[in-house]
Amino acid sequence: MITDNKTETEISGTSENAGGPEVEFLDLNTNRDYRFQVRWSDTLHSALDTAYTKIGEAPTGEDKLLCEKDGESLMGYLALTFEKLRDQHICPGHKYKLRRKTGGA
Amino acid sequence: MAAKGQKPVLANPMLARAAFEHDLIVVLGGRRVTWGESGWTRLDELTLLIPLTGYRNQVADGPAFLLKLDFRHYPEWPPGAQFVNPTTNTYTFPADRFWLPRLESDEIRTHENHPNIGQLICSSVTREFYEILHDVDDKYVWKHPKQTFAATLNTIEGALTECYNGRFSPKPS
């Protein structure tokens, strides 16, 4: 599991009620996890940008961010801060799936 | 390396197996399951069988399908992907049409008997897509390790929820 050179214990020990939650992005191209800490004032979009940096890929404009738990699209919530996401109970586990478009059909 | 307009070539079996087994660990980890919990089976060193369910309006349509992934050209090319009859682990047209889901979207489409290849899961993350020299935008051409067989599996599994339109035949032969 990719944890930005930190152990899960190190991350979870500072999560939630401190500066902000730990978030987790699952890259559906590889099933690799990218976990890191964000601030409550950060937006989902900024966290997504961080995830792209860690993955080493650029956004395409065709990608979709989904909630890992129920698969719901989160593309309409990218501008919200984690504080707002929490208050509105949007994907409360902070676990996300990043899906890239494929060619075909 | 996979490229538009070229047919897949067989990989060195040892390299294919090493890449498959490396990626298998990551893929299972991302699905939060162990091999024992996965329900997957290996037909041989380079063939994986994965049960998958189709959903219409969030209702499961049983019995489950069985996806066979063939890693003989991996990782330079995506795995071969076929839905198979779970009794024989093969697909014969037209007898096994019941075991083939109808997937229809702008990203993926299943064909029951495509000329020269038979069953086709038409998507840039399957080997057969390149076997038929399907036109493809450069940005969608398979690129390992940025893509692994996770992309193949997740694309097909996602389609079974989002664009599943039943089976090619209502009853098994």
CATH number at residue A42: 3.10.20.90
Domain residue ranges of chain B, discontinuous segments joined by +: 13-167
Q: Global pTM?
A: 0.92
Q: What sign has the CA pseudo-torsion A78, A82, A83, A88?
A: positive
What contacts B156, CB < 8 A, 6 or more positions away?
B52, B67, B81, B103, B108, B121, B123
Q: What sign has the CA pseudo-torsion B71, B77, B78, B83?
A: negative
pLDDT in tens, A50-81: 999 999 999 988 999 999 998 899 999 999 99
The whole-number pLDDT of residue B83 equals 98
> Quick one: which H or E segment has residue A10?
helix A8-12
Contacts of B108 in chain A (CB under 8 A): 102, 104-105
Q: Residue A68 and residue A98: Cα distance in Å, rounded?
A: 9
Q: Residue A87 and residue B66: Cα distance in Å, rounded?
A: 41
Strand B109-114 with A64-67, pairing: unpaired
The DSSP-derived string for chain B is ---TT----PPPHHHHHHHHHHHHHHHHHHTT--HHHH--EEEETTEEEEEEEEEETTEEEEEEEEEEEE-TTTTTSPPEEEE-BTTTTB--TTTTGGGSEEEBSSS-EEEEEETTTEEEEEBTTSHHHHHTT----GGGS--TTTS-HHHHHHHHHHHHHHSEEEESSSS--
Contacts of A102 in chain B (CB under 8 A): 107-108, 123-125, 140, 151, 155
Percent of chain A scored above 90 by pLDDT?
A: 74
pLDDT band at A10 (very low <50, low <70, confident <90, very high): very low
Chain B residues within 8 A (CB-CB) of chain A? 23, 26-31, 104-109, 122-125, 129, 134, 136-137, 139-141, 145-148, 150-151, 154-155, 158, 161
The whole-number pLDDT of residue A19 equals 83
Count the neighbouring beta carbons within 10 Å of the beta carbon of residue B41. Answer: 13
Contacts of B161 in chain A (CB under 8 A): 71
Nearest to residue A25, comparing CAs of A71, A61, A68, A84?
Answer: A68
DSSP 8-state class, residue A8 = H
User: How many domains does chain A contain in total?
Assistant: 1
Strand B59-70 with B80-83, pairing: antiparallel
pLDDT band at A9 (very low <50, low <70, confident <90, very high): very low
The whole-number pLDDT of residue A18 equals 64
Q: Does A69 touch chain B (CB under 8 A)?
A: no
What is the average per-residue pLDDT within A23-40? 97
Matching CATH number, B13-167, of 3.10.110, 3.30.930, 3.40.50, 3.10.20: 3.10.110
- A95: exposed, middle or buried (C-beta count within 10 Å: 0-12, 13-18, 19+)? middle
The radius of gyration of chain B's CA atoms, rounded to the nearest angstrom, is 15
ipTM value of the model? 0.93
What is the average per-residue pLDDT within A82-88? 96
Q: Residue A1 domain-assigned?
A: no
The whole-number pLDDT of residue A1 equals 44
**Subunit contact B150:A101, Cβ cutoff 8 A:** no
The whole-number pLDDT of residue B1 equals 87
Contacts of A57 in chain B (CB under 8 A): 146
Q: Residue A2 domain-assigned?
A: no
Contact, A35 vs A22, CB < 8 A? yes
Asked if pLDDT for residue A86 goes beyond 90, the answer is yes
Search chain A and give the residue with CA nearest B135.
Answer: A104
φ, ψ (nearest 5 deg) of residue A37: -90, 140
What is the average per-residue pLDDT within A23-30? 98
Contacts of B28 in chain A (CB under 8 A): 31
In chain A, count of helices (H) and strands (E)? 3, 4
Among A2-16, A86-100, B95-109, the least confident range: A2-16
Asked if pLDDT for residue A15 goes beyond 80, the answer is no
Note down the domain range covering A47.
8-99
**Subunit contact B107:A105, Cβ cutoff 8 A:** yes
**Subunit contact A103:B136, Cβ cutoff 8 A:** yes
Q: Residue A38 domain-assigned?
A: yes
pLDDT beneath 50: ranges in chain B:
none
